[in-house]
Amino acid sequence: MSNNFNFPGGNGFPTDNNDDIQGGQGGQGTPTTPSSGLGAQAQNRGGSEIYNLIDPNDIHVSISTKAPTIILFAPRTGGKTMSLIRLCRWLIQNGYAVKPDYSFRADKYYKEECDNFEQKVYHNYAAEGTSRVDFILITVSQRGRNICQILEAPGEDYFDEDPKKMRELPRAYQAAVFNGSNPRTWVFFLEHNGWAYGDVAVRERYAQVISQRINLMPKQDRVLLVSSKVDQAPELFENGKPNVQLFHRAMREQYPAVFSNLRSGRFISSGKPYEMTAFSSGTFSKTQAGTLTYTPSADLYPKNLWEKILSTLRN
């Protein structure tokens, strides 16, 4: 079973292959199938029981603060989990308090995930992708003031390469997050040249899904586009750094449907209809045991990502 922020190998964590990695060395992991639905069996993880999973629509979520919500939006293997981990490491190292919101969900399984959050952020193995019921809310604050809350959710709920497997987000989740009163910034991950599927048609369908989501947004919602896994496109680097203008141009060429609804004046962020940045969470190396060790990317990536998030909040 694939669990939010679970790590293969060592310290009693599962040894399943990674399914949410970002570029670099090592091969792409084999996605695992999440166990969900009523009556799912509890499993052991290093002697600690994973509580029986329930139907995601039976899990009640609540947003307890007025802080803006940052919604990470990407398909399975799109890099959300490792991007969040890289950003959290940088934020903590630069004086921010980064903590899971225990009040977001009331089930015991979620409490266990929150209890292990900090340890897992600093683990040296690549994180697995989130499972069907793994919605976690992270609060970022500084000197006692809440700045924002970052939402991680299963990529399969946003997009699946197989259109027959596309599914609706849990209704309680939609009501609390998408229809709530908190200001929202949507962070859309757009991988250069598509992702592991390598299928242009799949990439175009993903762009259409994002375009449809933009149509449903109220005008006050903000948009941040992230060109992800940029270390896989060294031809667009200059002096060891990604050329953001080149990645932006490539993004517009590869995902035209995304930009069709981002007209000037619809979303105002620093005087522009959207913000954009280039990002890499780090590199990954496969060990002889088959696990993936994780080396974080340079600080410029999470620093730039955070600055762009703050830019959307200021507007």
Beta-bridge partners for 186: 71, 223
Per-residue pLDDT band for 187 (boundaries 50, 70, 90) equals very high
Q: Which pLDDT value is given to residue 145?
A: 93
CB atoms inside a 10 Å sphere around CB 308: 21
Per-residue model confidence as pLDDT tens digits over 251-269 = 999 999 999 878 655 555 5
Q: Which pLDDT value is given to residue 136?
A: 86
Question: Mean pLDDT across the stretch 65-78?
Answer: 87
Beta-bridge partners for 121: none
**Percent of the chain whose predicted confidence (pLDDT) is above 70:** 69
Mean pLDDT, the chain, integer: 76
Per-residue model confidence as pLDDT tens digits over 196-225 = 446 788 888 899 989 988 988 888 889 999
Position with higher pLDDT, 171 vs 1: 171
Q: Which pLDDT value is given to residue 161?
A: 77
Q: Which pLDDT value is given to residue 34?
A: 33
Calculate the CA dihedral of residues 253, 254, 257, 258 and round it to 10 degrees. Answer: -100
Cα–Cα distance for residue pair 208/12, rounded to 1 Å: 41
Helix (H, G, I), strand (E, B) or coil at 35: coil
Per-residue model confidence as pLDDT tens digits over 85-140 = 999 999 999 999 999 999 988 877 888 889 988 888 887 766 655 544 467 899 99
Q: Which pLDDT value is given to residue 20?
A: 41
Instruction: Give all domains of the chain, ordered by start, each with its CATH number.
Output: 43-314 (3.40.50.300)
